[in-house]
């Protein structure tokens, strides 16, 4: 028994919860009070009206009058309006001007608001009244009527015995106060009172004699009230609105909140779950939903509408909505011919498009094989362990990434190709470079370079992510570096030259270490062949990234140099390589020496504005050294008293790197070690200067050289003397 009672309670709670969630009325709700229909969201008892707003709770009294508060309801419009009766306000006087009756009105509409289709009216001679409202905005208005005798015009409420003024919408509370200028003593015989009230537009017509005497004994006037559901828009409530099936939510145009309307071809209460029912336009007597078929027998109903069906051999004339016999004449023949011609054109276009697609596919496959795609695929799928991580991109993917190779996406152009900014489908940003191949004999070497470079995982080398071989010119995809090139920072083409000496020394060490790695530690030695400041990128932390390996060459393990066509950039080009055509790692050393000179001087590697004998930066250094003015060409931004030794050492290394004979130049491994040692030594030196007592205690106040001897600043009197020895030795 207890189990049954428990199940019964659960069922009751579930039913109540369902009604609350769906915000739907009970099935036994009162639907009529007197001659006024009560439709949801309005109701007269709990569970029958919209539960979120008590303003929808109406009262049906014993006299079967429907009340909104204490205001009688005339009718309810589901389009968002409620028509109620409001009592007039008045003030009356006797013949001596003594007040005999006064009634001012205060009216609250709860959460509903006044419609703009109402007027504030004052009836009386020498009378005036005020209307004060509150709600979304406070508002006050009023009007005044004057007369000494009964006006001759009836139905006119323009200031003589009667005045009217519009009422703004949006007010939920208002007060009406009537007044008289002379207490009606002058007109008491025919007008003892002043009347003031709200009334719906065109619902009050002024009758001078009757209305001035006693306002035709009318106590209440109809007033329009606006209502809506909640205070949110349809977009805000989304699927939680109470609009039922076959209905649409609309934002209220008169206040906040929303209202519901049945869809076209449906009628009923849109606030009920199944309130909007299909209207049979073919049988209904409603003028709103009536069909427009000229012959009622041709009307056919369908859900949400209708159509006019003509019998076989007839067609529907949409102008008159009548059936007419089909005519086959020149018009029909022309129409059929035109349609047939269009079908043929579409067919030919489809075939041409398909053939073009096949040709494009064939051409892409041809380019893929021509650029070594088959060879690369074979190498990638080969047996054995591999850390190769190179992706083969499609031509379509590259077009989308560069927005069709738009000019606005170009990051730079040079001898090795054009670089575009690309955005991949995962929103990652990459640099896409159109590489250049001289002839088909270079394909295998190009594939080898792609494979080798894809394996390089060095923090100072721009990472090769993949390639696209389906285009006539191969595309290489690199990681995107955001802060421009070293050339831009040194020479101010994009950025202010704000690199400190510490930045420049660190960048030099990073580039030197990278080249040393490529020459000595890579699985196959790599000669960059185009080392220059424009090919050294800087990230947001000014970390150097060596880029542009388009001119690079792989040196077989059993060879020290390689005969190639001379390629590089003037100003950085190794003179020995230029004259012999033999490429080796010392060519990169020479180019790096020029980069060091740029870092020291801030001057370009090749500048035609300098004197004839100094257009090349190496010559510029040499001549400045001979004339004892090398300190003049050192960038003033990096020159400080405490870094003269470092600058001298770097100048010495630059001179050694730019010696004419390659065999006299150091290897990049040695250059990197010297620069790194210089930084370590400098750090120790600065530490010693900062803590002299600790330094003296540890090493007796002397810095020991690598041979165990003490070193001093002898021979480092000025940057000029050291530079003379180094440059002359190099040349």
pLDDT, tens digit, 9 for 90 and up, residues 65-76: 999 999 999 999
Most confident region among 132-146, 225-239, 283-297 by mean pLDDT:
225-239
CATH 1.10.510.10 residue ranges in the chain?
492-730
pLDDT in tens, 402-454: 999 999 998 877 666 788 999 999 999 999 988 665 556 567 667 766 776 77
Q: Quick one: pLDDT band at residue 142, thresholds 50, 70, 90?
A: very high
Q: For residues 524 and 495, is the Cβ–Cβ distance under 8 A?
A: no
Q: What is the mean pLDDT of residues 263-277?
A: 93
Structure-token match 């490429």, residue found = 583
pLDDT for 68: 95
Rounded to whole angstroms, the Cα distance separating 518 from 80 reads 79
pLDDT at 607 over 70: yes
Q: Are 104 and 178 in contact (CB under 8 A)?
A: yes
Asked whether residue 730 carries a pLDDT value surpassing 50, the answer given is no
- According to CATH, the superfamily of the domain at 360-480 is Phosphorylase Kinase; domain 1 (3.30.200.20)
Q: What is the pLDDT of residues 633-655, one digit of tens each?
A: 888 888 877 888 888 889 889 99
Distance from C-alpha of 203 to C-alpha of 656, rounded to nearest angstrom? 106
Q: Which residues, including other chains, have CB under 8 Å from residue 498's CB and lie 6 or more apart?
A: 489
Q: Which residues contact 399 (CB under 8 A, 6 or more apart)?
A: 405
List, by residue range, all CATH 2.60.120 domains of the chain.
80-226
3-state secondary structure of 162: strand
31 vs 370: which has the higher pLDDT: 31
DSSP characters for 13-38?
HHHHHHHHHHT---TT---EETTEE-
Query: What Rg value do the Cα atoms of the chain yield, rounded?
Result: 48
If residue 43 lies in a helix (H) or strand (E), which one and from where to where? Answer: none
pLDDT for 157-210, tens place per residue? 888 999 999 998 889 999 999 999 999 998 989 999 999 999 999 899 898 888
Beta bridge partners of 476: 433, 467
Q: Of the ranges 261-265, 269-273, 340-344, 439-443, which one carries the lowest mean pLDDT score? A: 439-443
First to last CA, the chain: 113
In degrees rounded to 5, what are phi and psi of residue 37? -75, 135
191 phi, psi to nearest 5 deg? -150, 85
Tokens of 14: 């579930």
In the predicted structure, residue 15 carries a pLDDT above the cut 60: no
| Chain-centroid distance, C-alpha 444 | 45
Q: Which of 424-428, 662-666, 699-703 has the lowest mean pLDDT?
A: 699-703
Max mean pLDDT among 241-255, 443-457, 612-626 falls in: 241-255
Asked if residues 497 and 490 have their Cβ atoms less than 8 Å apart, the reply is yes
Degrees to nearest 5, angle at CA 647 with 625 and 512: 105
DSSP code per residue over 391-451 = EE--HHHHHHHTTTT-GGGEEEEETTEEEEEEE-TTS-EEEEEE---SSGGGHHHHHHHHH
Residues 99-114 have a mean pLDDT of 91
CA angle 713, 716, 717 (to 5 degrees): 105
Strongest mean pLDDT among 291-305, 310-324, 518-532: 291-305
- Render 584-595 in DSSP notation, one character per residue: -HHHHHHHHHHH
Query: What is the pLDDT at residue 4?
Result: 53
For the range 425-431, what are the long-range contacts, defined as Cβ-Cβ under 8 Å and sequence gap of 24 or more? 425/397, 425/400, 429/480, 430/401, 430/465, 430/477, 430/478, 430/479, 430/480, 431/462, 431/477, 431/478, 431/479, 431/480, 431/481
Q: For position 328, what pLDDT does the model report?
A: 61
H or E element in which residue 466 lies? strand 464-468
Alpha carbon distance 523, 554 (integer Å):
10
Minimum mean pLDDT range among 54-63, 151-160, 254-263, 291-300: 151-160
Residue 47, CA atoms < 13 Å, CB-side half-sphere: 10
The confidence band for 529, taking pLDDT boundaries of 50, 70 and 90, is: confident
The CATH code that applies to domain 492-730 is 1.10.510.10
**For residue 159, what are the CA distances in angstroms to 14, 147, 165?**
62, 9, 10
User: Is the C-alpha dihedral spanning 279, 282, 285, 288 positive or negative?
Assistant: positive
Query: How high is the pLDDT of residue 232?
Result: 94
Would you call 140 helix, strand, or coil by DSSP?
strand
Range(s) within the chain of domains with CATH label 3.30.200.20: 360-480
User: How much is the average pLDDT of 442-470?
Assistant: 79
Q: For the chain, give me the number of helices (H) and strands (E)?
A: 17, 39
Give me the residue label for tokens 């077009």: 399
pLDDT at 704: 29
- On the question of pLDDT at 721 being above 60, the answer is no
Question: Which is catalytic among the residues 530, 574, 588, 635?
Answer: 530
pLDDT score at 439: 58
Instruction: Share the mean pLDDT of the chain.
Output: 82
| pLDDT surpasses 90 at 287 | no
- pTM tops 0.75: no
80-226 belongs to CATH 2.60.120:
yes
Percent of the chain with pLDDT over 70: 82
Place of tokens 């309670």: 9
Are 448 and 557 in contact by the 8 Å Cβ rule? The answer is no
Mean pLDDT lowest for which of 99-113, 212-226, 698-712?
698-712
546 neighbors 515 (Cβ within 8 angstroms): yes
The 8 Å CB, 24+ separation contacts for 387-390 are: 387/455, 387/457, 388/451, 388/454, 388/455, 389/454, 389/455, 390/450, 390/451, 390/454, 390/464, 390/465, 390/466, 390/467
pLDDT band at 724 (very low <50, low <70, confident <90, very high): very low
The two tokens of residue 84 are 């109620």
**Can you tell me the distance from the alpha carbon of 131 to that of 121, in angstroms, rounded to the nearest whole number?**
10
DSSP assigned state of 216: G
User: What ranges in 199-329 are assigned the alpha helix state H?
Assistant: 208-214, 234-237
Of 112-116, 174-178, 499-503, minimum mean pLDDT range: 499-503
Is 530 noted as a catalytic residue in this protein? yes
Are 435 and 474 within 8 A, CB to CB? yes
Query: Please, which residues have CB within 8 angstroms of residue 465's CB and are 6 or more apart in sequence?
Result: 390, 391, 430, 477, 478, 479
For the stretch 331-344, pLDDT in tens is 777 888 899 999 99
Helix H or strand E segment including 131: strand 127-135
pLDDT at 238 over 80: yes
Q: Band of the pLDDT at 496, cuts 50, 70, 90?
A: low
What 3-state class would DSSP assign to 649?
A: helix
Highest mean pLDDT: which range of 15-29, 112-126, 426-440, 594-608: 112-126
Provide the pLDDT confidence category of residue 473 given band limits of 50, 70 and 90.
Answer: confident
610 pLDDT band, cuts 50/70/90, is confident
Say what the pLDDT of residue 226 is: 96
Q: What is the pLDDT of residue 690?
A: 52
Consecutive H or E run containing 599: helix 585-601
Rounded to whole angstroms, the Cα distance separating 22 from 191 reads 56
- Of 671, 730, 400, 632, nearest to 519 (Cα)? 671
- pLDDT exceeds cutoff 90 at 242: yes
Mean pLDDT of 456-460: 86
Question: Which pair of structure tokens corresponds to residue 296?
Answer: 């009622």
Tell me the C-alpha to C-alpha distance, in Å, between residue 103 and each of 93, 128, 134, 176, 196.
12, 14, 20, 9, 10
Residue 594 to residue 573: CA distance in whole angstroms: 9
CB atoms under 10 Å from CB of 662, counted, come to 19
692 against 153, higher pLDDT:
153
Which tens digits make up the pLDDT trace of 39-62? Answer: 999 999 999 999 999 999 999 998
Tokens coding 155: 């139905």
């Amino acid at each position: 028994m207890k189990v049954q009672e428990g199940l019964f309670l659960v069922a009751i709670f579930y039913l109540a919860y369902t009604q609350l969630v769906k915000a739907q009325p009970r099935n036994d709700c009162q639907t009529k009070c007197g001659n006024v229909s009560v439709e949801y969201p309005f109701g007269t008892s709990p569970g029958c009206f919209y539960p979120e707003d008590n303003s929808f709770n109406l009262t049906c009294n014993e006299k079967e009058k429907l009340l909104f508060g204490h205001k009688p309801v005339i009718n309810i419009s589901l389009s968002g309006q409620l028509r109620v009766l409001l009592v007039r306000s008045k003030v009356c006087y006797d013949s001596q001007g003594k007040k005999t009756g006064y009634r001012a009105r205060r009216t609250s509409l709860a959460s509903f608001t006044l419609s703009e289709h109402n007027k504030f009216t004052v009836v009386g001679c020498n009378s005036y009244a005020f209307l004060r409202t509150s709600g979304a905005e406070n508002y006050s208005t009023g009007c005044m009527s004057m007369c000494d005798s009964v006006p001759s015009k009836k139905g006119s409420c323009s200031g003589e015995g009667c005045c009217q003024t519009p009422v703004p919408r949006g007010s939920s509370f208002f007060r009406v106060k009537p007044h008289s200028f002379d207490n009606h003593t002058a007109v008491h015989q025919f007008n003892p009172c002043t009347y003031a009230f709200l009334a719906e537009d065109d619902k009050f017509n002024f009758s001078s004699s009757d209305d001035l005497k006693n306002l035709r004994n009318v106590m209440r006037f109809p007033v329009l009230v606006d209502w809506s559901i909640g205070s949110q828009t349809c977009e805000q409530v989304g699927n939680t609105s109470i609009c039922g099936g076959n209905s649409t939510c609309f934002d209220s145009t008169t206040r906040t909140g929303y209202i519901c309307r049945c869809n076209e071809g449906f009628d009923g209460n849109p606030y009920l779950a199944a309130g909007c029912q299909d209207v049979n336009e073919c049988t209904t007597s409603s003028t709103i939903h009536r069909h427009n078929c000229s012959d009622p027998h041709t009307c056919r109903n369908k859900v949400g509408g209708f159509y006019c069906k003509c019998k076989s051999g007839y067609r529907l004339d949409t102008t008159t909505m009548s059936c007419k016999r089909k005519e086959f004449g020149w018009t029909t023949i022309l129409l059929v011919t035109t349609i047939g011609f269009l079908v043929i054109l579409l067919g030919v276009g489809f075939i041409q498009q398909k053939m073009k697609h096949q040709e494009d596919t064939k051409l892409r496959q041809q380019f893929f094989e021509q650029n070594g795609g088959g060879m690369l695929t074979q190498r990638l799928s080969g047996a054995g362990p591999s850390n190769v991580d190179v992706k083969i991109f499609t031509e379509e993917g590259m077009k989308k990434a560069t927005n069709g190779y738009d000019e606005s996406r170009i990051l730079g152009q040079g001898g090795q190709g054009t670089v575009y900014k690309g955005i991949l489908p995962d929103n990652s940003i990459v640099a896409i470079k159109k590489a250049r191949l001289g002839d088909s004999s270079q394909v295998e070497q190009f594939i080898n370079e792609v494979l080798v470079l894809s394996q390089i995982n060095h923090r100072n080398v721009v990472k090769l992510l993949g390639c696209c071989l389906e285009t006539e010119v191969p595309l290489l995809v690199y990681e995107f570096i955001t802060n421009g090139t070293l050339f831009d920072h040194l020479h101010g083409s994009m950025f202010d030259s704000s690199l400190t000496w510490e930045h420049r020394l660190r960048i030099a060490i990073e580039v030197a270490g990278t080249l040393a790695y490529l020459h000595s530690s890579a699985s196959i030695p790599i000669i960059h062949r185009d080392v220059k400041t424009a090919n050294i990128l800087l990230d947001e932390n000014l970390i150097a990234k060596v880029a542009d390996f388009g001119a690079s060459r792989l040196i077989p393990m059993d060879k020290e140099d390689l005969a190639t066509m001379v390629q590089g950039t003037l100003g950085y080009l190794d003179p020995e390589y230029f004259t012999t055509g033999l490429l080796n790692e010392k060519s990169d050393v020479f180019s790096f020496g020029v980069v060091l000179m740029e870092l020291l001087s801030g001057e370009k590697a090749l500048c035609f504005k300098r004197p004839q004998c100094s257009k090349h930066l190496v010559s510029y250094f040499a001549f400045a050294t001979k004339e004892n003015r090398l300190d003049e060409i050192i960038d003033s931004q990096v020159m400080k008293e405490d870094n003269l030794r470092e600058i001298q050492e770097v100048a010495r290394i630059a001179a050694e790197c730019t010696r004419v004979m390659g065999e006299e130049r150091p290897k990049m491994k040695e250059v990197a070690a010297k620069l790194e040692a210089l930084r370590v030594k400098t750090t120790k030196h600065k530490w010693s200067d900062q803590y002299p007592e600790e330094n003296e205690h540890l090493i007796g106040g002397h810095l020991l050289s690598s041979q165990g001897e003490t070193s001093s600043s002898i021979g480092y009197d000025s940057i000029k003397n050291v530079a003379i020895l180094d440059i002359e030795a190099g040349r």
